[in-house]
């Protein structure tokens, strides 16, 4: 099944399934960004709008994109703020409908594991940023991928559906950001409360243009 079709199916239960990575990402986003204000935020791979609601509270405008109509439909019903505009976009397509230099924050949350080739996607995200703008990346930590963890959910007939994913090493994220002309200013690793003794669950990187 394609990644897009998988997410169209997963959208029905994405918000209600137990998912510690999703929940940890939401908490890290709240802690990092809720004290700050932004003018124009671009959210890339917004899913069901888990982080869009937070972004709408801290920005004058949010442009939230995803290629799954199922995920977008959930997001639209969850986040009704007039400051938010949801639209369909495949991040692998060459042209993005985002004006160059228009955003002071762009964020990818739990989406880049589904992108095979990081460099062109990070380069398009960098182009959206104004000078001094922040690119935030939050991903399932590759250490977890080395252990076999992968995005997955329980399908309609009760069987497990694994969503196609690609492993990107920490150095690949840093390299792709730097090639896009960005400066790495932060790298953090995060554990869920129930992760004691395990490798980090989440990797976040913050770049500045």
Stretch that binds ligand SAM, among 32-40, 47-55, 172-180, 201-209 (CB under 6 A): 47-55
Check if the beta carbon of residue 196 is closer than 8 Å to that of residue 176: no
CB of residue 90 to ligand SAM, shortest distance in Å: 4
- C-alpha dihedral (104, 21, 53, 44), degrees to nearest 10: 40
Kindly state whether residue 9 participates in binding ligand SAM, applying the rule CB under 6 A.
no
Using CB under 6 A, pick the residue from 105, 111, 125, 202 that binds ligand SAM: 111
When asked if residue 151 is in the footprint of ligand SAM (CB under 6 A), the reply is: yes
- Smallest gap from Cβ 109 to ligand SAM, in A, equals 4
Separation in Å, CA 122 to CA 33, 63, 67, 179, 185:
21, 17, 17, 9, 16
Residue 22 interacts with ligand SAM (CB under 6 A): yes or no: yes
- Measured in whole angstroms, how far is the alpha carbon of residue 138 from the centre of its chain? 6
- Report the C-alpha gap between 48 and 106 in whole angstroms: 17
Other Cβ atoms less than 10 A from the Cβ of 94: the count is 6
Q: Which stretch binds ligand SAM (CB under 6 A): 53-61, 67-75, 168-176, 191-199?
A: 67-75
Contacts of 80 (CB under 8 A, 6+ apart): none
In the bound state, the residue with its beta carbon closest to ligand SAM is 47
Name which of residues 153 to 192 contact ligand SAM (CB under 6 A): none
CB 123 within 8 A of CB 179: yes
By CB under 6 A, residue 59 contacts ligand SAM: no
Give me the helices (H) in the chain, please: 3-10, 20-33, 52-58, 69-78, 118-128, 142-146, 170-179
Is 71 an interacting residue with respect to ligand SAM (CB under 6 A)? yes
Residue numbers 117-146 binding ligand SAM by CB under 6 A: none
Q: Which is nearer to ligand SAM, 1 or 183 (CB)?
A: 1
Binding site for ligand SAM (CB under 6 A): 3, 7, 22, 25, 45-47, 50-51, 66-68, 71, 89-92, 109-111, 114, 151
């Amino acid at each position: 099944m394609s990644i897009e079709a998988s997410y169209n199916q997963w959208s029905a239960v994405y918000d209600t399934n137990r998912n510690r990575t999703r929940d940890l990402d939401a908490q890290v986003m709240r802690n990092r960004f809720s004290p700050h204000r932004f003018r124009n935020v671009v959210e890339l791979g917004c899913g069901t709008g888990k982080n869009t609601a937070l972004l709408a509270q801290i920005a004058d405008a949010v442009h939230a994109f995803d290629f799954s109509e199922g995920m977008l439909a959930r997001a639209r019903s969850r986040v009704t703020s007039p400051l938010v505009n949801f639209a369909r976009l495949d991040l692998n397509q060459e042209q993005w409908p985002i004006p160059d230099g228009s955003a002071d924050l762009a964020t990818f949350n739990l989406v880049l594991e589904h992108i095979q080739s990081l460099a062109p996607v990070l380069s398009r995200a960098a182009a959206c940023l104004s000078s001094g703008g922040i690119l935030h990346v939050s991903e399932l930590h590759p250490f977890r991928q080395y252990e076999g963890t992968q995005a997955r959910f329980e399908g309609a007939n009760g069987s497990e559906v694994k969503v196609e994913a690609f492993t990107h090493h920490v150095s690949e994220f840093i390299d792709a950001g730097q090639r896009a002309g960005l400066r790495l200013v932060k790298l953090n690793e995060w554990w869920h409360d129930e992760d004691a003794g395990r490798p980090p669950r989440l990797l976040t990187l913050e770049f500045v243009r």
